[in-house]
Amino acid sequence: MLVVGALALAPAAIADPGGAAKPADPPPVAAPGNPEADTVPQDTTPTTGGPAVPGGVSVSGLRAGSGSVVIREYIDMSSGASGAAHQRIVGTLLSRVAAEGLGSISLRPLITSTDLNSTEAGCAVLAAGRQNKAWDVTAALFRAQAVGGDWVNPTVLRRLGARIGGLRVSRFVNDARGPANYSRLNAIRDEAKSAGVTVTPAFVVRGPGGTKLVARPDNASAVIDAIKSVQ
């Protein structure tokens, strides 16, 4: 059993879209490295890109939108396949939420491997959520991951944070290194296990008409169908 923060959870099998089942327990979180020594991938990607929250959709923490239907997207930040699916699906999904008031969508970073970057990126998403910038940071992290190298470290977080309007960068970087994130990641893992999530990305859709689990959808339509079935 691996221990993260103050909580220890029993292992569970979670699979990433491109591989076999892996233990869901995150690795023990190492002390942050020296920011001056961190290597930085050479990213020339422009600030824009990735699913943006459309105008008129409220953002609070990890959540975008509102309504009687609650959608939770469980995603492994270290999985390239999960990242590609997120970029492909969530932009359309957010647009439909804006146009039709389908409900709220919440990001849930889920640790599915022993890759320390997965934990660090998950912490960064949680930290960004405290400034209502989780969606922006998630898209930026997936772009950094595609570049390769040591794609999550304080230097990378400062660089991508500086490109996101309205984000207080120093606060974001400090919050991403805070120990409170680890218990939150453990709670998300418990939540995912209770919901029957075994692969990422997965969307758990809850509404007055019940609960639907949509695992590895090919497109936004599969999630939208699930939303309409529980409205």
Domain count along the chain: 1
Comparing CA positions, the residue from 55, 57, 91, 58 lying closest to residue 73 is 91
CA distance 41 to 22: 27
- Residue 192 resides in a domain: yes
Tell me how far apart the 2 most distant CA atoms of the chain are, in Å: 52
Whole-model pTM? 0.79
Quick one: pLDDT at residue 15?
52
Contacts of 43 (CB under 8 A, 6+ apart): 143, 144, 147, 159, 160
Give tens-digit pLDDT for 26-67: 444 433 343 333 333 333 333 334 456 777 788 999 999 888
- Residue 33 resides in a domain: no
Give tens-digit pLDDT for 121-174: 999 999 999 999 999 999 999 988 887 778 899 999 999 999 999 999 999 999
- Residue 6 resides in a domain: no
- Residue 18 resides in a domain: yes
- Residue 126 resides in a domain: yes
Q: Domain containing 67 — which CATH number?
A: 3.40.30.10
Give tens-digit pLDDT for 173-221: 999 998 999 999 999 999 999 999 999 999 999 999 999 999 999 999 9
